[in-house]
């Protein structure tokens, strides 16, 4: 397709029609609750892949295709978000799988800025865990509707009624089950479809590599032992419904009510019910807020924002992919759009849809879609892109780092590769990179929220850029921004130092909060401010 010099006319009716078919959501949870497994189960049932794989599955099963980094496959965790597009019942599902480790919370927070709803996984054996609570708080702050999935019901776990009570207490939302399990955790026989008043027996196929079989049953016609499981399930579901009421679309949209489903994603149990729930109840894209506090109508000319930048997925080309959430209008591959931050045009010649390391060309996309712009070296996380009518969407906040380490190339002869790798990690937001004249470019300070960020940074520097790197950890635990206009800013001080980010922000780092008080007394002309938001 030839490169266009301007955007194509937007057909308002077509935009509204296509946007109404989209459901864009994130999958969130505490690590090891089954996010990547669920994502692949969704892809399997939507026929996007041939076989599902679980991260810690049997040798006969495949690795999770959305986890492409070596460290992801070695450890069985997701540390880079993946964006998949599936079609189910003529509805387009844009699924954004998020990092499965708490050390990459910042990446997950970026993803949450780009979705319209979230699927929150709860481990049936562990219930609510710290990372789940943190992500829930972000969803509620953004008023993101949440569908709750109690996963791993095929393994021993907690009581169903107790989990429902815990969801209500911990989320502040009213849990309304749409399905209910026949059998206790670890003895999963089937599901009640509560709104449809039907019952399904479930059986795994090929160890969960294929879609599970669902056979409708009538409990009254079963033998007494099996019938007792279904009768108990009906009684428990009825008890919850009488207490919490029925599902209410308006309450769900306002994030005051959360529909609950039970599942065992590794066996594809309950996954089809989740797909139906996303299609029937999930919110479609709506006008996005801008910095002028005026929502951008869906029918406006093209606009969107970058919520993630990733490199290294194609080792033979070392390309850069900027993940773009489309907010309004229609996207046509080849159209020239404007980067609000720089004011410069950007040609969208290479636009892809990404599934792990595999890609397919995208010619057209609509509000709610996620497009991977390839070779997008000029784009940064948070950039607003538009055609015709300028727009700026709210910035995606940075988070205050708590861990710091000095990075140095082990081989001085590999300094150019080291510097190029550091710049790439900074570009992607894998770690924050801080510099100072005293330390020089040969020894930048890497700043992170979690220790695994350092491990990923060092591994990628060594493997992708052939620049083995040593990390010397510093004793700093706290960072604060130096406000513009401050006077008498020192380069170093008792218990800390001054560093700078590439965007020009000046950062003061300290050993502890007591050092901050000393600093303020010693340098009254320097005003300190919090950095972005804290991950509490």
Number of domains in the chain: 3
**Tokens of residue 438, six digits:** 């005293």
Domain of 481, CATH number, reads 3.30.70.3280
Q: Quick one: CA dihedral 149, 163, 187, 215, positive or negative? A: negative
* Strand 351-355 versus strand 345-347 pairing type: unpaired
pLDDT value of residue 50: 59
303, 387 Cβ separation under 8 angstroms: yes
Of 238, 264, 281, which residue sits at a domain end? Answer: 281
Residue 224 lies in a domain: yes
Q: Are residues 253 and 290 in the same domain?
A: no
185, 157 Cβ separation under 8 angstroms: yes
Residue 189 lies in a domain: yes
Distance CA 489, CA 433 (A): 20
Q: Are residues 391 and 427 in the same domain?
A: no
Distance CA 411, CA 430 (A): 23
Q: Are residues 210 and 350 in the same domain?
A: no
Domain of 166, CATH number, reads 3.40.50.300
Residue 536 lies in a domain: no
Output the CA angle 40-54-210, nearest 5 degrees. Answer: 65
Q: Are residues 267 and 123 in the same domain?
A: yes
The number of CA neighbours under 13 Å toward the Cβ of 180 is 26
Output the CA angle 259-260-261, nearest 5 degrees. Answer: 130
Q: Which domain holds residue 412?
A: 403-529
Residue 535 lies in a domain: no
Of 349, 372, 397, which residue sits at a domain end? Answer: 397
Residue 151 burial class via C-beta count within 10 angstroms: exposed 0-12, middle 13-18, buried 19 and up: buried
Q: Are residues 128 and 189 in the same domain?
A: yes
**Tokens of residue 489, six digits:** 């800013």
Q: Are residues 440 and 340 in the same domain?
A: no
pLDDT value of residue 305: 97
Number of separate helices (H) and strands (E) present in the chain: 12, 30
Residues of the chain by 3-state class (helix, strand, coil), percent to 5 = 25, 30, 45
Backbone φ and ψ for 109, nearest 5 degrees, come out as -60, -35
Distance CA 5, CA 505 (A): 36
Q: Are residues 14 and 146 in the same domain?
A: no
Q: Are residues 353 and 461 in the same domain?
A: no
Residue 383 lies in a domain: yes
3-state SS of 406-471 is: EEEECCHHHHHHHHHHHHHHHHHCCCEEEECCCCCCCCCEEEECCHHHHHHHHHHHHHCCCCCEEE
6, 336 Cβ separation under 8 angstroms: yes
Q: Are residues 252 and 103 in the same domain?
A: yes
Strand order in the sheet with 303-311: 345-347, 336-339, 384-386, 303-311, 320-328, 370-374, 351-355, 358-361
- Dihedral, CA atoms, 271, 275, 276, 277, nearest 10 degrees? 100
Residue 487 CA to its chain's centroid (Å): 40
Q: Are residues 248 and 353 in the same domain?
A: no
Residue 534 lies in a domain: no
Q: Are residues 300 and 376 in the same domain?
A: yes
Write out the chain's pLDDT in tens, 536 residues: 334 434 455 789 999 999 999 999 999 888 788 888 898 899 899 876 656 554 333 333 444 444 444 544 454 444 344 678 899 999 999 998 776 555 556 777 788 889 999 999 999 999 988 778 777 877 887 889 999 999 999 999 999 999 999 999 999 999 999 999 999 999 999 999 999 999 999 999 988 889 899 999 998 888 998 899 999 999 999 999 999 999 999 999 999 999 999 999 999 999 999 999 999 999 999 999 999 878 999 999 999 999 988 875 555 545 688 999 999 999 999 999 999 999 999 999 999 887 656 678 999 999 999 999 988 888 988 999 999 999 999 988 777 889 999 999 999 999 999 999 999 888 888 889 999 999 999 999 999 888 888 988 999 999 989 999 999 999 999 999 999 999 999 999 999 999 999 888 999 999 999 999 999 999 999 999 998 654 44
**Tokens of residue 504, six digits:** 């020009």
């Amino acid at each position: 397709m030839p490169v266009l010099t301007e955007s194509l006319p937007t057909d308002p009716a077509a935009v509204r029609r296509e946007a109404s078919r989209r459901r864009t959501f994130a999958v969130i949870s505490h690590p090891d609750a089954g996010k990547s497994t669920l994502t692949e189960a969704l892809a399997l049932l939507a026929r996007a892949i041939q076989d599902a794989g679980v991260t810690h599955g049997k040798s006969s099963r495949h690795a999770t295709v959305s986890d492409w980094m070596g460290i992801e496959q070695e450890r069985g965790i997701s540390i880079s978000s993946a964006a998949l597009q599936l079609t189910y019942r003529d509805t387009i599902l844009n699924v954004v799988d998020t990092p499965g480790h708490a050390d990459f919370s910042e990446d997950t927070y970026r993803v949450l800025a780009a979705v319209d709803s979230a699927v929150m996984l709860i481990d049936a054996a562990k219930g609510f865990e710290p990372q789940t609570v943190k992500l829930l708080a972000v969803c509620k702050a953004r008023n993101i509707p949440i569908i709750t999935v109690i996963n791993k019901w095929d393994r021993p776990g907690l009581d169903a009624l107790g989990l429902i009570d815990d969801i209500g207490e911990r989320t502040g939302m009213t849990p309304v089950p749409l399905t209910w399990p026949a059998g206790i955790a670890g003895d999963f026989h089937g599901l009640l479809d509560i709104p449809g008043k039907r019952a399904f027996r479930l059986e795994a196929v090929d160890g969960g590599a294929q879609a599970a079989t669902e056979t409708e049953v009538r409990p009254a016609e079963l033998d007494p032992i099996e019938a007792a499981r279904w009768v108990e399930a009906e009684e428990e579901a009825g008890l919850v419904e009488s207490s919490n009421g029925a599902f209410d679309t308006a309450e769900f949209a306002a994030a005051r009510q959360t529909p609950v489903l039970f599942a065992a994603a590794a066996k594809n149990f309950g996954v089809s019910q989740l797909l139906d729930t996303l299609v029937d109840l999930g919110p479609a894209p709506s006008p996005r807020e801008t910095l002028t506090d005026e929502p951008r109508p869906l029918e406006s000319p093209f606009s969107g924002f970058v919520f993630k930048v990733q490199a290294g997925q194609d080792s033979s080309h070392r390309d850069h992919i900027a993940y773009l959430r489309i907010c309004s209008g229609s996207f046509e591959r080849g159209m020239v759009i404007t980067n609000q931050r720089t004011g410069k045009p950007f040609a969208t010649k290479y636009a892809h849809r990404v599934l792990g390391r595999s890609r397919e060309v995208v010619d057209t996309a609509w509000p709610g879609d996620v497009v991977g712009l390839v070779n997008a070296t000029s784009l940064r996380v948070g950039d607003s892109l538009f055609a015709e009518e300028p727009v700026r969407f709210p910035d995606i906040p940075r988070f205050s780092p708590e861990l710091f380490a000095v990075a140095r190339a082990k081989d001085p002869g590999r300094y150019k590769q080291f510097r190029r790798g550091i710049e790439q990690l900074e570009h992607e937001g894998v770690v924050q990179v801080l510099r100072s004249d005293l330390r020089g470019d040969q020894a930048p300070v890497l700043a992170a929220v979690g220790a695994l960020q350092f491990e990923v940074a060092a591994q990628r520097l060594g493997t992708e850029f052939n620049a083995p790197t040593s990390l010397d950890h510093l004793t700093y635990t706290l960072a604060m921004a130096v406000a513009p206009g401050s006077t008498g800013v020192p380069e170093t001080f008792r218990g800390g130092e001054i560093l700078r980010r590439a965007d020009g922000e000046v950062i003061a780092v300290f050993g502890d909060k007591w050092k901050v008080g000393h600093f303020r007394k010693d340098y009254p002309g320097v005003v300190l401010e919090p950095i972005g938001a804290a991950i509490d």
